Amino acid sequence: DGGITQSPKYLFRKEGQNVTLSCEQNLNHDAMYWYRQDPGQGLRLIYYSQIVNDFQKGDIAEGYSVSREKKESFPLTVTSAQKNPTAFYLCASSIGDSSGNTIYFGEGSWLTVV
Amino acid sequence: AQSVTQPDIHITVSEGASLELRCNYSYGATPYLFWYVQSPGQGLQLLLKYFSGDTLVQGIKGFEAEFKRSQSSFNLRKPSVHWSDAAEYFCAVGGAGNNRKLIWGLGTSLAVNP
């Protein structure tokens, strides 16, 4: 089935450690996104990519990094510089970044700092 | 400022009852409007969207929404709620631009009593 796969579903990290969240899509979409979701705050955009080897910061990029070496993959690294990383992270994609294109979401990854 | 307001943080309805979830927006240009649903611990799924044309939009799972420009609203409705509709519902607004610039509401949590 076509879709977006995020892994792991649950992840625990010790303070001071970097962690990488995986996002793979087989929808042949050019645009990919990472969102952070906190209770009562809705979705906030971390990074987005419109094409391979190109990505841009979203609204809350500090403490995060991404890469886009392949069209289907857009991993997110939560670095030790992110002061409050415990959250639910959502990866998404669309055919293109135009508002006319539906955004499809993965099932999310829970990150907890212990 | 551009914004989306979902006035109801939490709503409880009885199974079989009708439902209306409110969404108000502030947007300087012609808006593109979306409703997404999120089951607990899952990703978001598009219910419906409005770009232009008929202001009453039909979506999946028996949902519909009506765009009222004069009221800056895009309320979501369902005539008869099922227990499986219990979830978080998000309204989002964008323009004839980019998905990355979508503005998200904070969500309405729907509980359904048997």
Per-residue model confidence as pLDDT tens digits over A73-113: 999 999 988 888 999 999 999 987 777 778 899 999 999 98
* Collapsed DSSP state (helix, strand, coil) of residue B100: helix
Minimal Cα–Cα distance from A59 to chain B, Å? Answer: 10
Whether residue A8 has a cis bond before it, omega within 30° of 0: yes
Size of interface A-B (CB pairs under 8 A): 65
* DSSP H stretches of helix in chain B: none
Confidence check: pLDDT of A36 > 80 = yes
Q: Which amino acid is present at A18? A: N
Distance between CA atoms of residues B100 and B114, nearest Å: 39
pLDDT at B96: 67
Q: Answer yes or no: do B99 and A42 touch at CB < 8 A.
A: no
Tell me chain A's radius of gyration from C-alpha atoms: 13
* Nearest by Cα to A42 from B45, B89, B12: B89
Q: Which of A31, A42, A104 is closest, CB to CB, to B107?
A: A42
Kindly list the residues from chain B whose CB atom is less than 8 angstroms away from the CB atom of residue A4.
Answer: 43
Confidence check: pLDDT of B99 > 80 = no
Is B106 part of the contact surface with chain A (CB cutoff 8 Å)? yes
Q: Which of A40, A56, A108 is closest, CB to CB, to B43?
A: A108
Minimal Cα–Cα distance from A35 to chain B, Å? Answer: 10
* A31-46: average pLDDT: 91
Average pLDDT of chain A to the nearest whole number: 92
Q: Report the residue of B8, B44, B103 to disrupt the A interface, i.e. the one with the largest count of A CBs within 10 Å.
A: B44
Q: Answer yes or no: do B98 and A4 touch at CB < 8 A.
A: no
pLDDT at B1: 78
Strands B87-94, B103-104: pairing kind: antiparallel
Residue pair B63/B78 in contact (Cβ under 8 Å)? The answer is yes
Is B46 part of the contact surface with chain A (CB cutoff 8 Å)? yes
Confidence check: pLDDT of B44 > 90 = yes
Confidence check: pLDDT of A6 > 70 = yes
Q: Answer yes or no: do B105 and A42 touch at CB < 8 A.
A: yes
The separation between the first and the last C-alpha atoms of chain B, rounded to the nearest angstrom, is: 41
The percentage of residues in chain A with a pLDDT greater than 90, rounded to a whole number, is 76
